[in-house]
Amino acid sequence: MPESILLSITVVVVLGIGAQWAAWRFRLPSILLLLLVGFLAGPVLGVLDPQSLRGDWLFAFVSLSIGIILFEGGLSLQLSELREVGSTVLNLITIGVLTTWGLGAAAAHYILEFEVGLAVLIGAILTVTGPTVVVPLLRHVRPKGRVNTVAKWEGITIDPVGAILAVLVLETLILLNDPQRAGAGTAAAAEHVAIGIGLEIFVALGISVVATILLVVILRRRMVPDFLRNAVTLMVVVVAFVVANVLQHESGLLATTLMGIALANQPYVSVQRIIEFKENLQVLLIGSLFVLLSARLELSALEYIDLRVLVFLGIMVVLVRPLAVFLSSFGSNLDWEEKAFLSWLAPRGIVAAAVASLFAYQLRPFYPEAIDGMVPIIFAVIVGTVAIYGLTLSPLAQWLNLAEPNPNGLLFVGAAPWARTVAQHVQGLGHSVLLLDNNPDHVHAAREAGLPAHQGNALSENILDEISLSGIGHLLITIPNDEVASLTALHFSEVFESTDIYQLAAQPDSRHGGEGVMPGHLRGRPLFGENTSYQSLRAHVQRGDRIEVLSLVDEDTDEAQEYYTYDDLSATYEDATVIPLFILRGGETLEIVSETSQFQLRPDDQFIALVGTEDDVRDQDHKTPEVDRVAKHEGPALEKAPTDASDGAS
């Protein structure tokens, strides 16, 4: 018996992690694979026994796991983002929820022919979307403007709101069907709901404030060592969730969400390590939850999936969601394109699946026959919405001009002084830049220079959710550690094509004969040429070289060459005075200098280059023939382009 339990646990972990890896590898929505492998492992193949997954322990585990997931989601929310869209987010989790609830309940009653009570419950369950499905879609589409903020906030905050609403509906149904309370009418039910909402908010708010203050004091006064910081944080989150649930049923979800938001926005302690720990835990929890919940289904559940369910799904997608969004955004400053985008973004996730499974178990004594169809229908809506939105959201965003089809902005991983100088020049030319660095001094200096910068670990799983990649199309890894740079290139390959990921040349370790350099297939494309390393760029900037916008002219011929190569610019490493960084095609399109063999500079192009001062040139004991040719203006010569961008700081 213990061996079978151990085998089941192993199967759940392997399937949960393996399905998410396969989804990443083949660029598929992970939730679809998780539900599929869970269903195959449960009712189809019998590797996981559906009957053994029906105990109270499962629902306790599911409830606690969702509380931790929502806490992690709250850590990614910054209150400063609400200055422009706060009212819209508030309307979406109030007016939007009520609209979805009412119309969803009506559709469940008239189309699926559920009893009124169950129809109202189904409508309440389907109000939730969730960060586990919304955030990956946003990461893939990378919408620009305000819709990214609105969608992220709605996806995280609507989970506890919808779950609390569903719990109140459940308790009302139990109240109305309890033989001991026969005669309890509508007035009593309404009073129960009103009191329940008040208690939910009061308990959740109080517990979250107390738990956040306690955790901040512990961390700020260094009352625990570093290796226990994450463990103590998890302990406090679990205690807060359980205490809130004991005081008021299902208020723990709201409490942990508020706790995450409060902790993310307080200025006293850094939460970066906590975020990294929680996001790793989230991957394991999400995989396990979806596998377990889908494995609980029976093969007979497929009997409930018919044409009526497809009609119901179509109404929820085409009618209910757009109406909820337009009512919630009425009078807001959102454009019609932004409203249309939000109208096509409501995938259901883990909370809907978990709540449906839990409620079906609790309501079986009152609805012994009708309740069997609720769970498979909810799962069908989850699969349908994820598939519909996952396949169509990106083309829609491009059609609405909310996602650039060919973004040309640059994300710099690393904000060292020379990297900030390069970013300033690129920004001065009108191109978007974003700097990412884990060093707070580098981030502060970048912001002081007027550059958008984010403090965070590039290898953090959650970093793709924290930063906005709107308008960003290229990744420039400008850090000295080659191993970390290669891992960063691999990590960001989820959102960037391999042709858009650039990495500086490694600095060989002379003590080991050059060993330690990562293999070529694990690296990004060469950044600024195959021989340009972090150390060499830093040395050039420190000696006084300037970054300038240049053009190439040929004074000795009536007609210029068709194009010039990398060697024509005398970009040799030891004695070079010119290192090309970017090429400006037509004064607008920005190309990154990479493989020297593919470098082609046309006569009408300009380029951004690292140029040595004339004093540096005179002080050099040796010049290559190419450098002499440039200095004497023989053949192609460098000419400073008339642009303000060349006057940036170095």
7 assigned to some structural domain: no
The mean pLDDT value for 256-281 works out to 79
Per-residue confidence (pLDDT) for residue 553, from 0 to 100: 56
pLDDT in tens, 243-252: 998 988 778 8
Asked whether residue 121 falls in the same domain as residue 220, the answer is yes
Q: Is the pLDDT of residue 555 over 60?
A: no
Here the tokens at position 40 are 């195959």
The whole-chain average pLDDT of the chain stands at: 77
Residue that wins the pLDDT comparison between 60 and 29: 60
User: Positive or negative CA dihedral for 525, 527, 533, 538?
Assistant: negative
48 assigned to some structural domain: no
Per-residue confidence (pLDDT) for residue 517, from 0 to 100: 56
Cα–Cα distance, 169 to 122 (Å, whole number): 10
Residue that wins the pLDDT comparison between 274 and 92: 92
Per-residue confidence (pLDDT) for residue 565, from 0 to 100: 65
* Helix 95-110 / helix 307-315 crossing angle, nearest 10 deg: 160
540 backbone dihedrals φ, ψ, rounded to 5° = -65, -45
Residue type, 459: L
* Residue 196 burial (CB count, 10 A): 20
Q: Is the pLDDT of residue 441 over 50?
A: yes
Asked whether residue 215 falls in the same domain as residue 169, the answer is yes
Residue type, 223: M
Asked whether residue 275 falls in the same domain as residue 155, the answer is yes
H/E stretch holding 476 reads strand 472-477
The mean pLDDT value for 261-285 works out to 77
Cα–Cα distance, 298 to 342 (Å, whole number): 35
CB within 8 Å of 44: residues ≥ 6 apart:
299
49 assigned to some structural domain: no
The mean pLDDT value for 440-444 works out to 87
pLDDT-derived band at 628 (thresholds 50, 70, 90) equals very low
Q: Is the pLDDT of residue 129 over 90?
A: no
Asked whether residue 388 falls in the same domain as residue 414, the answer is no
Query: In the beta sheet, which residues pair with residue 459?
Result: none
Question: Which domain does 412 fall in, by range?
Answer: 406-533
Q: What CATH number has the domain bearing residue 149? A: 1.20.1530.20
The mean pLDDT value for 638-650 works out to 43
pLDDT-derived band at 633 (thresholds 50, 70, 90) equals very low
Asked whether residue 395 falls in the same domain as residue 410, the answer is no
CB within 8 Å of 166: residues ≥ 6 apart:
121, 124, 125, 127, 128, 355, 359
Asked whether residue 236 falls in the same domain as residue 365, the answer is yes
> What would the DSSP string read from start to end of 363-412?
HTTT-TTGGGGHHHHHHHHHHHHHHHHHHHHHHHHHHTTSS-SS--EEEE
**Distances 59 to 64, 72, 156, 164, 342 between C-alpha atoms, Å:** 8, 20, 21, 16, 32
Asked whether residue 352 falls in the same domain as residue 415, the answer is no
**For the ranges 122-131, 190-199, 344-353, which has the lowest average pLDDT?**
190-199
Asked whether residue 271 falls in the same domain as residue 385, the answer is yes
pLDDT-derived band at 617 (thresholds 50, 70, 90) equals very low
Per-residue confidence (pLDDT) for residue 210, from 0 to 100: 95
Q: Is the pLDDT of residue 570 over 70?
A: no
Per-residue confidence (pLDDT) for residue 613, from 0 to 100: 56
Last residue of a domain, one of 481, 503, 533: 533
The mean pLDDT value for 65-75 works out to 81
Residue that wins the pLDDT comparison between 192 and 620: 192
pLDDT in tens, 168-189: 888 788 777 766 555 555 666 6
Residue that wins the pLDDT comparison between 648 and 600: 600
Residue 636: HSE in the Cβ half-sphere, 13 Å Cα cutoff: 19
233 assigned to some structural domain: yes
Rg of the chain taking only CA atoms, in angstroms: 29
569 assigned to some structural domain: yes
118 assigned to some structural domain: yes
Q: Is the pLDDT of residue 14 over 80?
A: yes
Per-residue confidence (pLDDT) for residue 623, from 0 to 100: 37
pLDDT-derived band at 569 (thresholds 50, 70, 90) equals low
> What would the DSSP string read from start to end of 201-263?
HHHHHHHHHHHHHHHHHHHHTT-S-HHHHHHHHHHHHHHHHHHHHHHSTT-HHHHHHHHHHHH
Per-residue confidence (pLDDT) for residue 211, from 0 to 100: 94
Last residue of a domain, one of 350, 377, 399: 399
Cα–Cα distance, 623 to 600 (Å, whole number): 24
Cα–Cα distance, 262 to 270 (Å, whole number): 12
Per-residue confidence (pLDDT) for residue 137, from 0 to 100: 77
Cα–Cα distance, 566 to 596 (Å, whole number): 6
Asked whether residue 337 falls in the same domain as residue 258, the answer is yes
The mean pLDDT value for 3-9 works out to 78
pLDDT-derived band at 333 (thresholds 50, 70, 90) equals confident
Asked whether residue 142 falls in the same domain as residue 121, the answer is yes
**For the ranges 309-318, 373-382, 402-411, 450-459, which has the lowest average pLDDT?**
402-411
3-class SS of residue 427: helix
pLDDT-derived band at 213 (thresholds 50, 70, 90) equals very high
Most confident of 7-16, 189-198, 234-243, 572-581: 234-243
171 assigned to some structural domain: yes
The percentage of the chain sitting over the pLDDT mark of 70, rounded to a whole number, equals: 78
Closest residue by Cα to residue 411 from 432, 441, 429: 432
pLDDT-derived band at 465 (thresholds 50, 70, 90) equals low
Per-residue confidence (pLDDT) for residue 206, from 0 to 100: 93
Q: What CATH number has the domain bearing residue 522? A: 3.40.50.720
The mean pLDDT value for 311-340 works out to 91
Per-residue confidence (pLDDT) for residue 515, from 0 to 100: 47
Q: Is the pLDDT of residue 120 over 70?
A: yes
Per-residue confidence (pLDDT) for residue 544, from 0 to 100: 77
Last residue of a domain, one of 533, 556, 591: 533
Per-residue confidence (pLDDT) for residue 311, from 0 to 100: 95
Q: In this structure, what DSSP letter does residue 133 have?
A: H
The mean pLDDT value for 340-356 works out to 85
pLDDT in tens, 100-109: 999 999 999 9
Tell me how many domains the chain contains.
3
Per-residue confidence (pLDDT) for residue 279, from 0 to 100: 65
37 assigned to some structural domain: no
Per-residue confidence (pLDDT) for residue 646, from 0 to 100: 36
CB within 8 Å of 408: residues ≥ 6 apart:
431, 432, 471, 473, 474, 589, 590
**Distances 216 to 268, 271, 321, 604 between C-alpha atoms, Å:** 7, 10, 39, 58
The mean pLDDT value for 350-379 works out to 79
Asked whether residue 125 falls in the same domain as residue 252, the answer is yes
Residue that wins the pLDDT comparison between 446 and 177: 446
pLDDT in tens, 138-161: 777 778 768 888 888 888 888 788
Asked whether residue 468 falls in the same domain as residue 576, the answer is no
